[in-house]
Structure 1
Amino acid sequence: MTAALELAGLQQCRGEVTLPGSKSIANRALLMAALCQQGQQTRLTNVLRSDDTERMLEALTALGIAVGIDVKAGTTVTITGCGGHWQQVPSELQLGNAGTAIRPLTAVLSATLNDQTCVLTGNERMQERPLAALTDCLSAAGATIHYLSNEGYPPVQLAGGLQAGHLSIDGSASSQYISALLMALPLLAGDSILQLEGKVVSWPYIELTVAMLERFGIRVHQIGGQEFMIPGNQVYCSPGEYWIEGDASAASYWLAAGVLGGGPLRIHGIGQASIQGDLAFAGYLSGMGGNLQVDERFIDVQGGQLQAIDADLNAIPDAAMTFATLALFAQGTTHIRNIANWRIKETDRLHAMATELRKTGAVVEEFADSIRITPPVAIEHAAIATYDDHRMAMCFALLGFAPAGVRIIDPDCCSKTYPDFFREFNRLCR
């Protein structure tokens, strides 16, 4: 375990880096593969091996799914489908702090459990992350759900019972709730209408889910701006092999480092062919003055002179965090808007980001759903608390390009999604 990491005096970032597989895609693909027809196998390649995906793999194994991991290529995983008929149902699934595991499993198990009960729980932070928007929707549609501690939060006990019909959910908190329902509703006996209420956040992640469902043979019809029709009695079908593209959120750190460090830096695993909305980060960074070239499956970056950004980044909340630290190197005041859902992530990211940025001498204004950052004349050295949040650690690594440097406390929290991040950062940045 590394208690803290000092980074200072970095002047260049050059070479080539291959992104780990996307966490969002990996956990969706693992569950979809498990739901494929009985006995069908799906070979998933470039699977991210991190805390979050390990929690999903452990959960599927506990549910009786046959999981094969290639000994030589640990990122290749073969899943044998069960057709939604679990071989066994454990009394409890421990899901750590993996939102991309607990949310879809809550919906899918509500659709597939028959007279069985299973408790979904997680670590201390997970038990502070709200689940009510999803569970209220499921309960209204017949699912049997009991909170075991605090109302609206894990741990929850599920007992199935979800029925097809007209469902309505508040889309203003997390798109993961909507993705979870889109994965579960095709398994029901009848057709369903899913109505999204309020201003939907992170819409690209919903589009990602729909695109992935199509690859696994599931049809979802968008019949209005915020309304879907999901035919029932559908069967997940294995695509045979499924490549997990690189993590577009993780790409943001390298794109930023390539600008600050001059490049040339080539980032493999993400590009024009990506189905991830966080690819939009590259467009915003170009607009700030970054020199980027986006190919089909890689991006080249080579320096740039940065101007501040003022933008609504609701669609890319994870990647948007990188702009908060990049703001310290830009001319002018940066305003990142419509990011209220930062508050229900691994930590309250709005408050955490504001608190840590102020340590550098920046003038930071924290609002209910936005943050405004004016950089200091000279960035001051700071010991950055990471709040057991992988993205806080990776964002603040960029301060290594400031003459005063930075001290990252608990850099190992990156194991949640990118265990090798700082090893790669030290390799490429000098």
Structure 2
Amino acid sequence: MPNRQVVSSHIESPIVTVPGSKYLANRYIALAALSSGTTRLSNLPENDDIEAALEAVKQLGATVTSVDNGVVDIEGIKNYELPQTATLNCRDSGTLSRFITAVASNLRSQVVVDASEQMRQRPMQEVSQSLRDLGVAVSSDALPISLKGPIQGGRVELDTSRSSQYLSGLLIACLKAKSDTYLILKGKTVSSSYIQLTKNAIELFGGKIEEVSETELKIPANQSLTPTNIHIASDVVSSSYFMAAGLLAETTVTLTAFDFESPQGESQFYRVLEAMGASIKAESDKLVVGYTDQLQGIDVDMGDMPDVVPTLVVLALFAKGETYIHNIAHLAFKESNRIVDLCDELNKLGVDIEYDADSIRIKGDQPLRPAHLSSCHDHRLAMSYALVGIKQPGIVVTDAQAVEKSFPKYWEFLENIGLHTELVN
């Protein structure tokens, strides 16, 4: 597995435009596959997750045509009964495994959904049981899963305390159910902003979700989705690494085409940085994050912006005082256990990091030592670890190719702003 060592850092007031959001792209691809006609997506991010999503909808009968760099046309599924069993490979994409399992259950023919060995360990019981309750034949509660629809609709209870992806997948899939679907939400819904992201995407395609109450959603049956042309907004999570890079380099970073209107919780990460002492300026679609003095540790609920927790933990290493991050139990069910794996790896630096099932506590401004930090095959960990090298020499990120999942050009982007890395054995 390729490893990368941070060699040097000379970052001075960079201007960065990050690629399109994979979170939005995953939703748009699924909805385009269920639409009647052709959807054009531009600024589509080029990464392993999106390649897997495009290939999956092709296997289900959608037509995918590459038009230009970052521009793809998707013609929706015409025949929901395929001549033979379709086998889908979600690779390392947990989002796709939940979304495509739900979407595939609209087909009247058999579909097998599989993924990498790592993804086979991630929970699927909530979505598989919900689909059974909605009339779909589902073989198991873990990947690989064999299923056969179509979704009949009805009334189903769904535990959303571990992941919002189950609900997002069902919201999309049940748009085509034979009768109205009522989803009763149980437990504390995590990452609720991602549910709003899904609702907004459905609305773009002309779909309707009705809120019966705070814990009950109605999806009217057999909806006709209208194809559309969409320019995908920049990825707000990817933006977080460059905000952090600028602060660690004690300079200013300007992010262009920043999506201030995104309901995604991570779009508000700059407010967390402001609470730590960063200077923040919003100028039209530009976000300017500036260093004024050493960051201060804070007490912060990150329940609605889980994917930037690794970025925040790295910043907290260099902040004055203690940082307490809580309401993050759902991080245990990401590409890695982002509580245990993140903290155990960063402890190799010789710092004081404590954690439990729902929180991380970091004592900042401690002396560090060089270390090999394993990405645990998690793209978010790999990208965050590289930032440590801005302050501490001798940082090696092992299994560094994990970034290909969401941001294959990440190392090139770092090079462009002045953070130099090289491949090592």
Correspondence list, 1:3-402, <5 A? 3-37=2-36, 40-70=37-67, 73-82=68-77, 85=80, 90-110=85-105, 112-114=106-108, 116-147=109-140, 152-239=141-228, 241-304=229-292, 305-375=294-364, 377-402=366-391
Offset, 1:41: 1.2
Offset, 1:119: 0.9
Q: Distance in 2 between matches of 1:18 and 1:157?
A: 41
Unpaired segments ≥5 residues, structure 1: none
Q: Distance in 2 between matches of 1:88 and 1:14?
A: 56
Query: Can you list the C-alpha shifts for 1:285-323, whole angstroms capped at 9, x where unaligned?
Result: 111111122344331122233111211111111112211
Alignment RMSD? 1.7
Q: Indicate the residue corresponding to 1:423 in structure 2.
A: 412
Q: Distance in 2 between matches of 1:208 and 1:300?
A: 24
State the AA in 2 paired with 1:277: G
State the AA in 2 paired with 1:51: D
Query: Can you list the C-alpha shifts for 1:112-149, whole angstroms capped at 9, x where unaligned?
Result: 121x21110001101101100111111122211002xx
Query: Can you list the C-alpha shifts for 1:211-250, whole angstroms capped at 9, x where unaligned?
Result: 01000000111222222111112111112x1011111111
Q: Distance in 2 between matches of 1:84 and 1:418?
A: 34
Q: Distance in 2 between matches of 1:188 and 1:47?
A: 28
Moved more, 338-347 or 87-96: 87-96
Count of residues paired in the alignment: 418
Query: Can you list the C-alpha shifts for 1:340-393, whole angstroms capped at 9, x where unaligned?
Result: 111111111111111111111111112011111113521221111111111111
Residue 289 of structure 1 contacts residue 306 of structure 1 at CA under 8 Å; is this kept in 2?
Answer: yes
Residue 281 of structure 2 contacts residue 289 of structure 2 at CA under 8 Å; is this kept in 1?
Answer: yes
In the TM superposition, structure 1's runs of 4+ consecutive aligned residues that sit over 6 Å from their partners are: none
Q: Distance in 2 between matches of 1:242 and 1:203?
A: 23
State the AA in 2 paired with 1:226: T
Q: TM-score, normalised by structure 2?
A: 0.94
Query: Can you list the C-alpha shifts for 1:44-86, whole angstroms capped at 9, x where unaligned?
Result: 001111110111111122223211112xx32111111225736
Moved more, 350-359 or 8-17: 8-17
Moved more, 242-251 or 83-92: 83-92
Residue 173 of structure 1 contacts residue 341 of structure 1 at CA under 8 Å; is this kept in 2?
Answer: yes
Q: TM-score, normalised by structure 1?
A: 0.93
The sequence identity of aligned pairs, in percent, is: 34
State the AA in 1 paired with 2:18: L
Classify the secondary structure of the residue corresponding to 1:324.
helix
Q: Indicate the residue corresponding to 2:423 in structure 1.
A: none
Q: Distance in 1 between matches of 2:115 and 2:165?
A: 17
Residue 63 of structure 1 contacts residue 86 of structure 1 at CA under 8 Å; is this kept in 2?
Answer: no
